Chains A and B, each alone.
Chain A
Amino acid sequence: MRYRKFILLILKKLWAAVTDLIPIIVVVVFFQSVVIRQPFPEIGDVIFGILLVIVGLMLFIEGLEIGLFPIGETMAYALAKKGSLLWLMVFSFALGFATTIAEPALIAVAKEASIISSDAGLINNNQEVMDNYAFGLRLTVAFSVGLAIVIGVLRILKGWPLHYLIIGGYVLVMLMTLIAPKEIIGLAYDAGGVTTSTITVPLVTALGVGLATVIKGRSPLTDGFGLIAFASLLPMIFVMAYGLFWF
């Protein structure tokens, strides 16, 4: 009897993962069969892959609810209870920096950027210079994400309205766009989007919501969200500044 309940629960969760993937399957099948009119390359691999994606998504969401969210919230409660602003800031910065510096998407983008910049003649076409440039770019983005989480956490503590800070950031992005080297603008804009990975987002969200829940006078909905917004905005400004610094 207990087993039946357990199996039913798992089937329900699997079904939820299947519904998340239905749009992708529909789009791919439609284009492959109606528009491009070509048979699937290696259909066996594709079906096997889809099964892996479904099981993986189910496990991830389960782990999110019993692991990542509680960890983020527990850290938020414990740090708020300790009452040391300095340690909270250190934790926030380290969380942003540590999750970004090793981010595979960022490593790929930084390498790509060094190739573009050397092709455009902005930096020397020399492996050492290019590696330095790529590593510097990664450091810059990781630093800016760390700083973003610090500013975001300070905002939750002080109750500053988010939109003034973000709009101020937008104005800064626009001003930087006017003076930054043209080759780096597209890259800088994209850098904002690639920094927030699948593990960072739930952790950072849980941290923000957790802090806004324990601090008196803050609402988890109004004040708890917004950390991700800073983490997507600051890298744009910093990457353009990095471009100005190099060229």
Chain B
Amino acid sequence: MIDYIMDFSLILFYTMRDVLPIVLLIVFFQLVVLKQPIPHLKKMILGGIYVVLGLALFLMGLEKALFPVGKIMASQLSDPVFLGVTEGELANWRSYYWIYIFAALIGFATTIAEPSLIAVAIKADEVSAGTINPWGLRITVAIGVAFALALGTFRIVTGTPLYIYIMVGYLIVIIQTFFTPKKLIALAYDSGGVTTSTVTVPLVAALGLGLSSAVPGRNPAIDGFGLIAFASLFPIITVLGYAQFMELKNRLLKIKTKKNAL
């Protein structure tokens, strides 16, 4: 019990330390620059306390429950004994199929729980007056991360250069941009950056480092990186794709109603 309380106080302290610069900045601007009373100040402070407390509990829970299990699973799945290959020998990339499945599923699952994505989805729902469904957006982004991590682990196993994948990804984004309704482009670009924070990064980093040290011929220092970059790029593609799909559906619907009207 004492241990838990100690752990929690430490995490709470770290969280407060991270929030401190933001609090100082806002207080400075209020007192020195804006010099105006803040409406609903009490409620906002209460909200701030909820955020810090909630984040600290969330992080502590992750450290107790998810991270140890996730890290053990990542290392067990890349174990040569589990894969049925000879140690130190480069196996065919197909032998690692459980890794790709695990990477995709864990990527999907952690993205659904990612607090910053929930925040952006709430905001998008609010400003679009309900036309952007928060769950629709979150699932679309999560599918993007799932695909990104499966491809990213495949890249680590095969040892192909990272920049080729990223450049092809950028080209796809650029082409898609010109065929997507303008009002959704900004949201799609933003969804790349929000996927990778509290829940996803530690697990993905463990997966990348574990896998690159288990596969012979890979250097964790060079090949361990890149999964986060993938996870920030592919959600843009899936969200743009989702926007294009909805646009197409609406257009088809319009043509249909026109025909019916005639």
Contact = CB atoms under 8 A, between A and B. Distances in A.
B113 A91 contact: no
A50 B122 contact: no
Interface in B79-123: 82, 98, 102, 105-106, 108-110, 112-113, 115-116, 118-120, 122-123
B73 interface: yes
A45 B47 contact: no
A194 B201 contact: yes
A82 B35 CA distance: 10
Interface stretch (A4-12, A93-101, A132-140): A93-101
Nearest to B163: A177
A174 interface: yes
Contacts of A51: 61
A53 B61 contact: yes
A232 B48 contact: no
Q: Interface size class for chain A?
A: 35 or more
B29 A91 contact: yes
B16 to A, nearest CB: 11
A64 B51 contact: yes
Contact of B190 (A67, A102, A174, A228): A228
B259 interface: no
A172 to B, nearest CB: 11
Contacts of A166: 189
A62 B50 contact: yes
B69 A219 contact: no
B115 A198 contact: yes
Contacts of B166: 173, 177, 189
Contact of A190 (B189, B190, B226): B226
Contacts of A45: 64-65, 68
Nearest to B194: A201
A197 B15 CA distance: 12
A147 interface: no
Q: Interface size class for chain B?
A: 35 or more
B182 interface: yes
B53 A186 contact: no
Interface of B: 14, 17-22, 24-26, 29, 33-34, 36, 38-40, 43-66, 68-70, 72-73, 76-77, 82, 98, 102, 105-106, 108-110, 112-113, 115-116, 118-120, 122-124, 127-128, 142, 162-163, 166-167, 170, 173-174, 177, 182-187, 189-190, 192-199, 201, 221-229, 231-232
25 contacts: A20-B112, A23-B109, A24-B66, A27-B105, A31-B77, A35-B102, A38-B76, A41-B68, A42-B68, A55-B54, A56-B60, A63-B54, A66-B44, A66-B50, A91-B33, A119-B221, A161-B182, A193-B232, A194-B201, A201-B120, A201-B193, A220-B127, A226-B190, A231-B193, A232-B192
Given A47-B65, A53-B61, 11 more contacts: A24-B106, A36-B73, A57-B115, A79-B29, A167-B174, A170-B173, A192-B193, A198-B116, A199-B51, A202-B119, A228-B192
Interface of A: 20-21, 23-24, 26-28, 30-32, 35-36, 38, 40-42, 45-71, 74-75, 78-79, 82, 87, 91, 94-95, 98-99, 101-105, 115-116, 119-120, 161-163, 166-167, 170, 173-174, 177, 183, 185-187, 189-190, 192-199, 201-203, 205-206, 209, 213, 219-229, 231-232
